[in-house]
Amino acid sequence: MRAWLRNTAGGLPRTYWYLWSGMLINRVGAFAMLIMSVYLTDERGASVSLAGLVVGGYGIGGVAGTLLGGVLADHWGRRATLFWAHTVAAALMAALAFAHHLAVIAVLTVLLGIVHSMPMPAFVAAIVDVVPAERRSRAFNLQFWSFNLGMAAAGLLAGVLAQVSYLVLFLADAGATAVTAIVIAWKVPETFRRRDAASTNGGLLTALTDRTYLVFVGLTLLLAVLSTQTSTIMPLAMLSDGLSPAAYGTVVAISAALIVVGQLFVPPLIDGRRKHTVLAAALLLIGVGFGALAFADHLAVYLIAAVIWTIGSMLAAPPNAEVNAELAPEELRGRYQSVFALTFPAAAFLTPALGGLSLERLGDWHWIVVGALGVAAAGGHLLTGPARDREAGRRARPARELERVAG
């Protein structure tokens, strides 16, 4: 057991563990927004449509915050971006706890969307800064595990605290965010090696015109569209099959439990294998899992399908993040991370917008289309992966040369 723990988590620098701890605390404490729509309708008397509009504002703010966080991570530095984003978020959440007017709540929600999304590009950029290339797969595997563990804990806490008091819920969320800011200020040094200002010329435009990178981001968008089926379209399909919300909760809980228990065992399975082949296998599993829902009429089939696509998601997480890190130039790492991170809010919009229409018009054939997207994404990784790996190696050479000279 001790040897397994060393193999899974050993060799990672101390700064990484402080970043990891900050992310875990942040995720565990991020429970207020999970039930924001319930709070607005139950406590503030908002209509369902108005509550949806306010919560949608959080998503719009998230798009802006993701891009802003990437730019600031490369301009201010990772530590400053992380500290101020969490500090402002804690203050805004505390203000939200005492806000009563819906207009004020709506404005605060948009602002929270911005500051809640700012840290992720800086977190990932800092991890890439401090973790050697040969250890990044394990670092990202642990990051994915902590994110899901934190979200599972947040979901449980949200329900418990909402029954106690919404005021307590918002203030506890603010407190957890403030603790993350303290951990960053106390233990996380600045990891960004500042260089000549000319090295950042082009900014976001460089990332947005990088063809190799954009092809990879496009394949990641397909992965995100597949993954968000579980929270958007699958509940509708289960309802049409006569299954209860409790059945949906069981499927989600089994998937989350599998990630929490199994993610730590992923590194031995993928170490030494080509990243594009692992990604292809992962996308194929995800596609097969969702495609199987075309034949699902009973809870047991949904559970089996969930196990299949969850294993695929577990395999995909480390190499996907690793490729993203390899393609990003060091001086533009934050900006590249922000472009990558945009795939998730984009999928959160595209999946319900197009998926609902697809399910309504195609019925069970919707899941065949979704499965085909997974197969197409797997083929895309097989076709573009070798060239992408060569390009990543070419981009890594200057950094290795600088490290050799510095050493």
- Kindly state whether residue 197 falls inside one of the protein's structural domains: no
Q: Rounded distance, CA 294 to CA 372, Å?
A: 12
Q: How confident is the model at residue 208 (pLDDT cuts 50, 70, 90)?
A: confident
pLDDT tens string 291-347: 999 998 899 999 999 999 999 999 999 999 899 888 988 888 888 988 898 888 888
Which of 129-138, 192-201, 343-352 is predicted with the least confidence, judged by mean pLDDT?
A: 192-201
Is 313 within 8 Å of 286 (Cβ atoms)?
yes
Return the top range by mean pLDDT from 81-90, 108-117, 139-148, 346-355: 81-90
What length does the chain have?
407
Co-location of 262 and 287 in the same domain: yes
Which structure tokens are listed for 400?
């290795």
CA distances from 10 to 2, 259, 260 (A): 10, 20, 19
Co-location of 217 and 155 in the same domain: no
Co-location of 183 and 219 in the same domain: no
Structure-token match 């949904």, residue found: 302
Over 80: is that where the pLDDT of 155 sits? no
Last-in-domain residue among 190, 211, 235: 190
379 against 50, higher pLDDT: 379
Last-in-domain residue among 147, 168, 190: 190
Nearest to 262 by CA among 144, 378, 155, 134: 144
Over 80: is that where the pLDDT of 204 sits? no
Co-location of 176 and 216 in the same domain: no
Over 70: is that where the pLDDT of 171 sits? yes
Is 204 within 8 Å of 214 (Cβ atoms)?
no
What secondary structure does DSSP assign to 110-142, as a single string? HHHHHHHHSHHHHHHHHHHHHS-GGGHHHHHHH
Instruction: Check residue 180 and give its pLDDT.
Output: 93
Over 70: is that where the pLDDT of 223 sits? yes
Name 401's Cβ contacts closer than 8 Å, sequence gap at least 6: none
Co-location of 359 and 313 in the same domain: yes
Cβ neighbourhood burial of 47 (10 Å; 0-12, 13-18, 19+) = exposed
CA distances from 392 to 88, 208, 252, 327, 381 (A): 36, 17, 36, 5, 14
> How many CB atoms lie under 10 A from the CB of residue 79?
19
- Kindly state whether residue 5 falls inside one of the protein's structural domains: no
Instruction: Check residue 198 and give its pLDDT.
Output: 43
Instruction: Check residue 304 and give its pLDDT.
Output: 95
Q: How confident is the model at residue 407 (pLDDT cuts 50, 70, 90)?
A: very low
Over 90: is that where the pLDDT of 75 sits? no
pLDDT tens string 345-361: 888 778 877 888 888 88
Q: Rounded distance, CA 407 to CA 37, Å?
A: 54
Enclosing domain of residue 305: 203-407
pLDDT tens string 258-290: 888 888 888 888 888 899 999 999 999 999 999
CA distances from 74 to 112, 125, 328 (A): 22, 9, 12
Over 80: is that where the pLDDT of 2 sits? no
Across 27-44, average pLDDT:
77
Which of 43-52, 120-129, 222-231, 385-394 is predicted with the least confidence, judged by mean pLDDT?
A: 43-52
243 phi, psi to nearest 5 deg: -95, 150
Over 70: is that where the pLDDT of 201 sits? no
Is 290 within 8 Å of 255 (Cβ atoms)?
no
Q: Rounded distance, CA 269 to CA 7, Å?
A: 12
Is 320 within 8 Å of 200 (Cβ atoms)?
no
Q: Rounded distance, CA 395 to CA 397, Å?
A: 6
204 against 13, higher pLDDT: 13
Q: Which amino acid is at 268?
A: P
CATH of the domain at 305: 1.20.1250.20
Which of 36-40, 158-162, 337-341 is predicted with the least confidence, judged by mean pLDDT?
A: 158-162
Nearest to 40 by CA among 30, 29, 54: 54
Over 60: is that where the pLDDT of 228 sits? yes
Is 118 within 8 Å of 68 (Cβ atoms)?
yes
Co-location of 185 and 213 in the same domain: no
Co-location of 75 and 145 in the same domain: yes
283 against 169, higher pLDDT: 283
Percent of the chain at pLDDT exceeding 90: 38
Over 90: is that where the pLDDT of 89 sits? yes
Q: At what angle do helices 333-341 and 343-362 cross, to 10 degrees?
A: 20
Residue-averaged pLDDT of the chain: 85
Co-location of 104 and 218 in the same domain: no
DSSP symbol at 193: -
Q: Is 361 left (phi over 0), alpha (psi -120 to 50) or beta?
A: alpha
Nearest to 137 by CA among 266, 256, 276, 281: 266
Q: How confident is the model at residue 240 (pLDDT cuts 50, 70, 90)?
A: confident
CA distances from 276 to 7, 211, 309, 402 (A): 23, 17, 18, 27
Which of 120-134, 168-182, 194-208, 381-395 is predicted with the least confidence, judged by mean pLDDT?
A: 194-208
CA dihedral in degrees (239, 240, 242, 243; nearest 10)? Answer: -30
Co-location of 245 and 221 in the same domain: yes
Across 214-231, average pLDDT:
92
Q: Rounded distance, CA 121 to CA 187, Å?
A: 19
Over 60: is that where the pLDDT of 196 sits? no
Q: In angstroms, what is the C-alpha Rg of the chain?
A: 21
Co-location of 89 and 238 in the same domain: no
Give me the number of domains the chain comprises: 2
274 phi, psi to nearest 5 deg: -65, 135
